[in-house]
Amino acid sequence: MLEQVTAVRYVDPLRAGGSVPGVVETDDLGTYVVKFTGAGQGRKALVAEVIVGELARRLGLRVPELRLVDFDPAVAGDEPDREIQDTLRASRGVNLGLDLLPGARDFRPGMIDVGPAEAGRVVWLDALTGNVDRTVHNPNLMVWHGRLWLIDNGAALIFHHRWSAAGASVGKRYDLSAHALGGYRPDVRLADEELGPLVTAGLLEQVVGLVPDAWLADEPGFDSVGELRRAYVEHLAERAARSAEWLPEGFSTPEQLRDAERRRAARTRAGRPAWLREVPDLHGKPSVETVWEQHIE
């Protein structure tokens, strides 16, 4: 199992995250970004964080250290936001902590040099695990001490949200054309040659075995937690063996990303009432032009 620690102080919510994780100090003198079981994404996001994060670590990619965090909502009694308090009260018990990387910055294309081999390994892992949430708009990558770190893998393992259709998705190719590292000429075929043979049933049993039983309990269609663990292992092992069917074939150029952004914005405006059509999109995300500006230079 992952090392377990106890929360002693709730420092602050991170409102930039969709699930509003919190910065929490623990009894090992560590500070972690804690993702809560009571958040909107539920336990399956934490299951994906553990399986994908620990698989990435064993394949040589950088992921913040993971800890199981025993959380008592009483340590966050001073949090004034009622919605956050509701989430915290629903999260009593074991949650997931990711080591806080002090001073780390959000990755943006062109921020650091990333070689084709490293970019290829990240893209290959995302393709294997069905993680479509690492895009130029939402990289879910951090730069710490000049190196790339993977965070927020909770949107991966799409198949486990509908196990009845999981078998049909084993060889599915996901659209990664707007991947955050697409501009770094990712060598996914080299990654497949190097990493594919490492993704064995034995390795997958190790990482799936790190998920707490409580997060896997009561899954419809499975008679036991052990049966569910085997389903994860078998699905990912078969997918790794069938990589020729899902390897990404190409990545959008900056110009193609701009065109896609314009079409998206046009569709958004078309769906608005007439009086709103000239109001700019205020999602708080940078435009594709801004995201790629430094990389193009």
Whether residue 203 sits in one domain with residue 132: yes
pLDDT at residue 88, rounded to an integer? 96
Whether residue 147 sits in one domain with residue 43: no
Burial label, 146 (beta-carbon count in 10 A; 0-12, 13-18, 19+)? exposed
Whether residue 274 sits in one domain with residue 217: no
How many domains are there within the chain?
3
Whether residue 124 sits in one domain with residue 240: yes
Whether residue 283 sits in one domain with residue 271: yes
Whether residue 270 sits in one domain with residue 239: no
> In percent, how much of the chain has pLDDT > 90?
79
Q: Which of 68, 102, 136 is the endpoint of a domain? A: 102
Residue 5 corresponds to which tokens in the numbers above? 């620690």
Whether residue 17 sits in one domain with residue 145: no
Quickly state the pLDDT bin for 282 (edges 50, 70, 90).
very low
**Pairing, β 22-26 against β 4-13:** antiparallel
| Residue 26, φ and ψ in degrees, nearest 5 | -130, 175
Angle at 43 between CA 16 and CA 171, to 5 degrees: 95
Whether residue 261 sits in one domain with residue 138: no
Whether residue 123 sits in one domain with residue 16: no
**β-pair partners for 69:** 5, 95
Whether residue 49 sits in one domain with residue 61: yes
pLDDT at residue 41, rounded to an integer? 85
In whole angstroms, what separates CA 134 from the centre of its chain? 7
Element (H, E) at 272: none
**Structural domain boundaries enclosing 69:** 4-102
Residue 76 corresponds to which tokens in the numbers above? 């966050």
Looking at residues 205-211, what average pLDDT do you find? 98
pLDDT at residue 77, rounded to an integer? 92
Quickly state the pLDDT bin for 210 (edges 50, 70, 90).
very high
Whether residue 12 sits in one domain with residue 85: yes
Whether residue 96 sits in one domain with residue 175: no
Q: State the chain's mean pLDDT as an integer.
A: 89
